[in-house]
Structure 1
Amino acid sequence: MLDLPDDLYTGLEQLAKAKNTSINDQIITILKKGLATELQQTEEQRRQNVPKLLEELRKRHRVNPSDFGLPDSTELIREDRNR
């Protein structure tokens, strides 16, 4: 048995009866719709953040690997291809 407040359970019961389904089916349907909505909102938020992230990336100072004594990646790729 679910540990739900009485008013919530009663609402689910009425909805299930009106739709001729079980309470369990109604709970699953409601959870699926809620989850889909949340995931859609999350995806929309990510899309809205893309321009902000791109702007931040453009503002970052470029780091040259040679400044840290590291080889240039182009040289490493050439070496690998020449093997």
Structure 2
Amino acid sequence: MATLQIENLPDELYSRIQCLASEKNFTFNEAVIHLLKQSLESDKAIVNQTQESKPMSAILQRIRSRPRVKPSDFGLTDSTLLIREDRNR
């Protein structure tokens, strides 16, 4: 397992981590690992949300650029004909 050494840690930050450790019954080391994991998980969620929130124009462009598929190429009946046939009943 890797070791992390932090220099020039502000006293206030050190005190806050100590408080968190005592509240959660963690060692100081466990509290730091907990905080790092939380931070990285929230950053990962933000990146995923950013990737998912593409502008509508980009989404529509991607949809329009998809290749057209003819049902007849797969031996299937065109759905337009099936709908027309159903409406004529």
> Which TM-score band applies after superposition, normalised by the shorter structure?
0.5 to 0.7
Q: Give how far 1:9 is off.
A: 8.7
The TM-score normalised by the length of structure 1 is 0.55
In structure 2, relative to structure 1, the CA distance for the partners of 1:52 and 1:31 (3 Å cut) is same
Note if 1:33 corresponds to 2:39: yes
RMSD: 3.2
Map Cα deviations across residues 23-65 of structure 1 (whole Å, 9 max, x no partner): 2022112211221122112211221266423202113343220
In structure 2, relative to structure 1, the CA distance for the partners of 1:50 and 1:29 (3 Å cut) is farther
Q: Give how far 1:73 is off.
A: 5.0
Q: Larger deviation: 49-58 or 31-40?
A: 49-58
Question: Residue 56 of structure 1 aligns to which amino acid in structure 2?
Answer: R
The TM-score normalised by the length of structure 2 is 0.52
- Gaps (5+ residues) in structure 1? 76-83
Query: Which residue, 35, 54, 63 being the options, matches 1:48?
Result: 54
Query: Which residue, 55, 58, 61 being the options, matches 2:64?
Result: 58
- Gaps (5+ residues) in structure 2? 22-27, 83-89
Query: Which residue, 15, 19, 33 being the options, matches 1:18?
Result: 15
Paired positions, count? 70
Q: Which has the higher helix share?
A: 1
